[in-house]
């Protein structure tokens, strides 16, 4: 379905309109010259001008993704394409219009890339190591953001421009190059910008990511996060119901929510909830509810109960996000672990809502949720791509609580959270297993000695033990 959607979208008028300028909410950027080969609607139009189909455009993208050379003749070698196609590519397209100007690696293995766009503007992309061999990529959809969330460093930048579909896709290309030893399993639009404020480009990008001929990401591995652009949510439910949707709630009360998200006054909370219900019904999937926990603002059990009342019975999963310190005007504070734990208890036990507590990644390099603001501090600056991807992640989730990436039981249900007693029994079992392992090693060593020095063991061991080791010696021989 995703592939069909890519072709239908590429054949539409949206891409041709995007050729001229990229504009959103009064923020105007010049069209890319040369253009990105990963901007499918524009590439499709170029191919149609020389009599080639949308499928040819996807094939070119496939080979461009595999190749790192800039010569189109070499990239397209073996495709039996006419010279007219190669000429169009040479004249109007490049493999990458953007470049990584800096990479910083966190103590937990997270990598934040500073990416410079063709017009000199910059965005940040974060690569988060997950299970061994896999990673999640956090993408930006805009330079800055117009939503103005008061706890978010990106929101303090204002909106400087929206990215093209090609620039969004190029972030994933850079991420693949930065961590060649890790497989990209998930892509989340939780970086800079409001994705549904740049709807056409984001929609084209997610369809390209899901296309089996190019990036071939599982549809369930693509998440679009929004502060609640109602029309965008409803459009996404119709255009791409196979993606995952995340909604930034942060408060169940409209008045408090507007203080945290000033742009929230454009969309009443009840209208947003109706749109989320519509998306869940169309997609037959669970909507993630993101809730940044701010000490003294929205971190009480009563706050959790109001969230429970708002969402009980709906197809949602709540993700509690402890506030990450950022350079913003408001004096927000990191919540106490006990407060976040108590909220978790209320939501899970009283309201039976699926709830997780987000693990922190990349806080020391300004790469965690709400911290992206082009800051160049912390971590280790990587000189070469080969320096990346060699650090194993540190598990920073709260004790005895499932993370957002918690494992699933064979039945498809979440594994029950561990209790203190269960954790103690698990530690005891591990200790017993360790003791048996040590004993096995000792027996093996004695058996080896028995095979080399039988008389020595016979003089220091009980006769029955000496006989047993003699039998072991015979087996070894």
Please name the residues in contact with 211: beta carbons below 8 A apart, sequence gap of 6 or more.
Answer: 2, 3, 6, 58
Three-class secondary structure of residue 433 per DSSP? helix
Known active-site residue 369: yes
CB neighbours of residue 49 within 10 Å? 12
Residue among 138, 145, 179, 369 flagged as catalytic: 369
The continuous run of DSSP H or E covering 293 comes out as strand 287-293
Cα–Cα distance between 314 and 325 in angstroms, integer? Answer: 31
Q: How far apart are CA 192 and CA 123, in angstroms?
A: 7
Question: Residue holding tokens 């189109």?
Answer: 72
| Backbone dihedral region for residue 174 (phi beyond 0: left; psi -120 to 50: alpha; all else: beta) | alpha
CB atoms within 10 A of CB 268: 14
Report how far residue 397's alpha carbon sits from residue 8's, in angstroms, rounded to the nearest whole number. Answer: 42
Is there a catalytic annotation at residue 338?
no
Chain position carrying tokens 């959607």: 5
Establish how many alpha carbons lie within 13 A of residue 342's alpha carbon, considering only the half-sphere containing its beta carbon.
13
Pairing verdict, β 134-138 and 122-129:
antiparallel
**Dihedral sign for Cα atoms in the order 454, 455, 459, 462:** positive
Asked if 209 contacts 172 with a C-beta cutoff of 8 angstroms, the reply is yes
3-state secondary structure of 264: helix
Among 352, 346, 345, which Cα is nearest to 413's? 352
Catalytic position from the list 124, 167, 194, 290 = 124
Nearest-angstrom CA–CA distance, 149 and 143: 15
Residues marked active site are found at 124, 369
């Amino acid at each position: 379905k995703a592939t069909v959607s890519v072709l239908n979208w590429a054949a539409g008028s949206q891409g041709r309109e995007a050729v001229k300028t990229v504009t959103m909410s009064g923020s105007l950027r010049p069209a890319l010259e040369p253009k990105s080969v990963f901007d499918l609607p524009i590439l499709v139009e170029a191919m149609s001008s020389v009599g080639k189909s949308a499928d040819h455009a996807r094939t070119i993208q496939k080979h461009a993704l595999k190749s790192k050379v800039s010569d189109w003749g070499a990239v397209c070698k073996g495709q039996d394409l006419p010279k007219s196609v190669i000429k169009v590519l040479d004249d109007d397209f490049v493999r990458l219009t953007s470049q990584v100007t800096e990479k910083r690696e966190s103590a937990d293995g997270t990598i934040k890339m500073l990416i410079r766009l063709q017009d000199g503007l910059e965005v940040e992309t974060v690569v988060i190591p997950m299970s061994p061999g896999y990673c999640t990529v956090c993408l930006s959809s805009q330079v800055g953001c117009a939503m103005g969330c008061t706890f978010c460093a990106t929101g303090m930048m204002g909106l400087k421009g929206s990215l093209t579909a090609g620039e969004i896709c190029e972030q994933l290309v850079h991420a693949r190059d930065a961590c060649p030893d890790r497989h990209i399993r998930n892509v989340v639009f939780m970086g800079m910008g409001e994705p549904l404020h740049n709807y056409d480009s984001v929609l084209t990008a997610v369809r390209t990511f899901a296309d089996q001929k190019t990036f071939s990401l599982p549809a369930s591995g693509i998440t679009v996060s929004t502060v609640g652009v109602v029309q965008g949510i409803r459009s996404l439910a119709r255009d791409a119901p196979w993606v995952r949707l995340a909604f930034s709630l942060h408060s169940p009360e409209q008045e408090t929510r507007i203080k945290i998200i000033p742009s929230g006054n454009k969309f009443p909370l009840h209208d947003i909830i109706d749109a989320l219900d519509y998306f869940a019904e169309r997609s037959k999937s669970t909507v993630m509810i993101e809730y940044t926990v701010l000490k003294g603002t929205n971190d009480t059990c009563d706050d959790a109960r109001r969230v429970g009342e708002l969402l009980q019975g709906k197809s949602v999963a709540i993700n509690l996000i402890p506030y990450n310190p950022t350079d913003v005007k408001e004096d927000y504070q990191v919540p106490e672990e006990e407060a976040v734990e108590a909220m978790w208890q209320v939501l899970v036990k009283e309201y039976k809502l699926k709830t997780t507590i987000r693990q922190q990644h990349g806080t020391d390099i300004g790469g965690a949720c709400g911290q992206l603001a082009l800051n160049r501090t912390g971590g280790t600056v990587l000189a070469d791509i080969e320096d990346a991807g060699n650090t194993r992640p540190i598990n920073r989730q709260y004790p005895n609580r499932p993370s957002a990436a918690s494992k699933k039981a064979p039945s498809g249900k979440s594994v029950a959270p561990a209790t203190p007693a269960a954790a103690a029994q698990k530690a005891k079992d591990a200790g017993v297993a360790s003791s048996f392992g040590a004993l096995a090693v000792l027996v093996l060593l004695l058996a080896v000695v028995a095979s080399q020095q039988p008389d020595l063991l016979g003089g220091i061991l009980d006769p029955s033990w000496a006989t047993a080791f003699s039998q072991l010696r015979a087996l070894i021989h």
